Chain A
């Protein structure tokens, strides 16, 4: 028997359905929209804003966050300026704000700073908030979404009722942007879950890293931290299946051979598959595993799930939803900079655009402003 979920059913769209939804939904004159997005070098900074401007011009306000990290490459700055100029040409009154992602000791503070910044901005009069995570780092996007979800759920006069998350899912772009990471894996601000709490000290820990190309070093760092805290941590890696390339999960198994066989000692039956295109599928899979583990470990210290969504942006939203629902720990290493393959990035710009994903997290679609988003079936 399945357990009632907060986002089951979930209103979400992909590709032409997502663009179709935006065009229909925002065509209504009573929609007044705040778009919160990244305003950086990432070419995905502008796509969704451009689409929304076409439909909701005059009813759309933009808040664009420029993530600041020490010593950026001049080309990254040039591209960020160009993207911001484009965004301003569509939304002349847009707010462009700078956020320091790292403290002087390299501690990740971007999420906290983003929340603080948004908290100081009036959302009165808007019906809908759209957070576009395409060009935001997870360390900034996740805390921001949690804060905005709590804001819209709390409600109040003139507060927006609806919270949406959108992303331009482009794995090739993700692969062209390599994070230069510090050496401090830590829970994302607001996603500590039970990490470090005394009553979780005996909990059976399950780590669910999302495997993707070129992220071994980051995942190794994170595993080390988790294992130091919980030596008996079990690892259930998440692989993309179904995927546009049916051999992708095999290729990842090969790429992570050492980790799977030696470091993490993963049993073949512990591989978790999640539809490359569906964040909601990953959300369901994580919660199904959590349900089972809660029962098993209820009398012997409890269960603790730690997520590390370092792969595609679309799938990371599934991890976000699961973490929001069950207060899971999201362990992450903030980028202290980016090593960008500009040729690959530009090749992607001239190629076909990625797929647009829309998730409706809270509001009218669920008929309730309260905790239970879904109507259930």
Chain B
């Protein structure tokens, strides 16, 4: 579709005058070209500006400025290049630093001495080989991670399935022992793209701890005595995390350890993030009163599936009421404000929600 044509329609929809249209068109052309058109779920002929025109029309004319204002002033869009950069940063900025400190601790030297002599450098290489990298979801971009670290991290150290059966554990150990017959694993990095509420990673339901971390604890028990060094370390890395998640995961890890007791839960888990979205990122009635009013008015609670209810009984501000104005180029998180991604049929006095960035549901 001719971009000028759809911009003209958008101008009519928004009721912009000539000056305002010129100003907004410049921004829309720029940002769609540089970032937003890259959203993976846009269709040919229905990219950002077309989707915006469609999305805006679900609101009354008087409300459209508030909707547009959120996109113009608060949307956080992480592009493919930005996401790939977070993946590329993971090894040099997080893994290397952790292992460098581990070598220093084992040898009783300051971390800055690790590259100064052969012995610590050799131990570094050994510990690196004894490290496994496990994806927690397909958002972990393991393909990008492998390419970025070719020649440094072996393919046999990278596990592309969140659940590892006994046969796979044995294969991983065999590969490790091809180089050192008595070697065991000394550390694991669990990797995922995004964490907002912390619920999917670790939560308490009734008197049970659930989530990916709880599941990993169960699965690793069988091989802990045979495949792992005593004192092995668990690291959990997310390329993107919220300020809230950064705090919550620490608290829940501490609570789970206290309840289970040492030996029955991970003694320590090191959490890290490629970028932490600041505390002020979520929207609320104070920062975005008009838009929050829209989230109340244009809400269809049929999006509250069984999975969504794990995060609470109201999803208008997204899973776990995280209230994020966040879009990831490969899919919009369900923790983002529902008006950005939800698509419903409406009916029975319920509004048919139209998405700006359509979300592919992982859980139905």
| Chain A residues near B (Cβ < 8 Å) | 1-2, 8-9, 11, 21, 24-25, 241-247, 249-250, 253-254, 257, 260-261, 268-269, 271, 273, 275, 278, 280-281, 284, 360, 364-367, 374-377
Contacts and interface: CB of A to CB of B under 8 A. Distances in A.
B76 interface: yes
Contacts of B144: none
Given A242-B274, A250-B31, A273-B85, A21 B112 contact: yes
A280 B92 contact: yes
A366 B92 contact: no
Nearest to B96: A9
22 contacts: A1-B151, A9-B115, A25-B112, A242-B275, A243-B275, A245-B278, A246-B277, A246-B278, A249-B82, A250-B35, A254-B27, A260-B34, A268-B38, A269-B81, A275-B89, A280-B92, A364-B116, A374-B115, A375-B121, A376-B121, A377-B121, A377-B152
A1 B150 contact: yes
Contacts of A244: 278
Contact of A253 (B30, B110, B115, B274): B30
Contact of B124 (A360, A365, A377): A377
A132 to B, nearest CB: 19
A273 B112 contact: no
Secondary structure of the B contact surface, majority rule: helix
B278 A260 contact: no
B125 A246 contact: no
Interface string B85-127: 1100100110010001000000000101101110001001100
Nearest to B125: A377
Contacts of A261: 29-30, 33
B281 interface: yes
A11 B112 contact: yes
* Highest count of chain A CB atoms <10 Å: which of B38, B76, B92: B92
Interface in B273-310: 274-275, 277-278, 281
Interface in B9-61: 26-27, 29-31, 33-35, 38
A271 B34 contact: yes
Nearest to A277: B93
A247 B73 CA distance: 9
Interface in B129-161: 150-152
A195 to B, nearest CB: 29
B33 A2 contact: no
Instruction: Bin the interface of chain B by size.
Output: 35 or more
A170 B34 CA distance: 28
Contact of A278 (B82, B93, B110, B278): B93
A377 B35 contact: no
B128 interface: yes
Nearest to B150: A1
Given A2-B150, A246-B281, A261-B30, A365 B112 contact: yes
A33 to B, nearest CB: 16
A253 B31 contact: yes
A269 B86 CA distance: 16
Contacts of B281: 246
Contact of B76 (A1, A8, A247): A247
Given A242-B86, A257-B27, 8 more contacts: A247-B74, A250-B31, A260-B30, A268-B33, A281-B89, A364-B116, A375-B121, A377-B121
Contacts of A268: 33-35, 38, 79, 81
A326 to B, nearest CB: 19
Contacts of B78: 246
A367 B113 CA distance: 8
A23 B94 CA distance: 23
A248 to B, nearest CB: 11
A284 B93 CA distance: 12
* Highest count of chain A CB atoms <10 Å: which of B29, B30, B38, B152: B30
A24 B150 CA distance: 35
Contacts of B86: 242
Nearest to B33: A268
Contacts of B278: 244-246
A158 to B, nearest CB: 21
A33 B333 CA distance: 51
Nearest to A280: B92
Contacts of B89: 242, 275, 278, 281
A257 B24 CA distance: 12
A213 B117 CA distance: 43
A375 B115 contact: yes
A285 B297 CA distance: 46
Contacts of A377: 96, 121, 124-125, 128, 152
Interface string B243-265: 00000000000000000000000
Nearest to A274: B85
B9 to A, nearest CB: 22
A244 B79 CA distance: 17
Given A9-B96, A257-B30, A364-B116, A246 B81 contact: no
Contact of A246 (B27, B33, B76, B92): B76
B77 interface: yes
Contacts of A365: 112-113, 115-116
Nearest to A241: B82
A271 B60 CA distance: 38
A284 B92 contact: yes
Contacts of B124: 377
Contacts of B277: 246
* Highest count of chain B CB atoms <10 Å: which of A21, A250, A260, A364: A250
B30 A254 contact: yes
Contacts of B33: 261, 268
* Highest count of chain A CB atoms <10 Å: which of B34, B74, B116: B34
Contacts of A25: 110, 112
B116 A366 contact: yes
Nearest to B121: A375
Contact of A367 (B35, B38, B110, B116): B116
A366 B26 CA distance: 50
Nearest to B115: A375
A300 to B, nearest CB: 27
A367 B30 contact: no
* Highest count of chain A CB atoms <10 Å: which of B35, B81, B110: B81
Interface string B179-198: 00000000000000000000
A11 B124 CA distance: 15
Contacts of A366: 115-116
A68 B225 CA distance: 68
A374 B86 CA distance: 24
A51 B271 CA distance: 30
* Highest count of chain B CB atoms <10 Å: which of A243, A261, A375: A375
Contacts of A257: 26-27, 30
Contact of B81 (A273, A275, A280): A273
